[in-house]
Amino acid sequence: MTRPELGGLYAITPEMIDTSGLVTMTQQALTGGARLVQYRNKTAGTALRLEQAYSLAHLCRKFGVPFIVNDYLDLAVEVGADGVHVGRDDASVAEARRRLGKGKIIGVSCYNRLELAVEAERDGADYVAFGAFFDSPTKPGAAAAPMDLLDHARRKLHVAVVAIGGITSDNAGELISRGANAVAASSALFATGYIRSAAENFSRLFQSNPTADCLFPDHSSV
């Protein structure tokens, strides 16, 4: 995949055992306009994670949408994922770049701390993620991120900014207008009985917001 856009609806898959069901649900999100997909499963065993990651990677390739693996760098390498998302206890940006190679996407959780994002950008990350901006059923108790963090990030950073945490199509508009290139959603997509239409609602927010923008990873100096 060449120079993927980093913007729009970022679908975070739910944790579930049924691989076929997971693929079907993710396909509905992609049909509705999801522009990035992240596979996140903290509880599955190694074999199930491998099965699901391979299946989702294949699906995302059909849609021409980047497939990102959360946390598990080895898994991202094995399934040929388009990138990896790391947190404070995961592989470093440098290690991820060395293992994945030039042209892959590296995202970094920066929670509510702009200085972590500045460091991640300096280390070669392609996007940074801030949150939680709202109460999140996926990560209850996550540190709260103030809305004006996006204002500061837009002025300070040159990489894509992802907003995460309790985001719905009702509250995502302000995040986009304040500088989020992408909004990550899990429950607001996959815990509904209408995944495709929920994704379409998110996608329309980007289409109608004149400040919304997609960025392209710049690996020219990697």
Would you please indicate which residues are annotated as catalytic (active-site) residues? 40, 109, 139
SS (H, E, C) the chain: CCCCCECEEEEECCCCCCHHHHHHHHHHHHHCCCCEEEECCCCCCHHHHHHHHHHHHHHHHHHCCCEEEECCHHHHHHHCCCEEEECCCCCCHHHHHHHHCCCCEEEEEEECCHHHHHHHHHHCCCEEEECCCCCCCCCCCCCCCCCHHHHHHHHHCCCEEEECCCCCCCCHHHHHHCCCCEEEECHHHHCCCCHHHHHHHHHHHHHHCCCCCCECCCCCCC
Max Cα distance, the chain (Å): 44
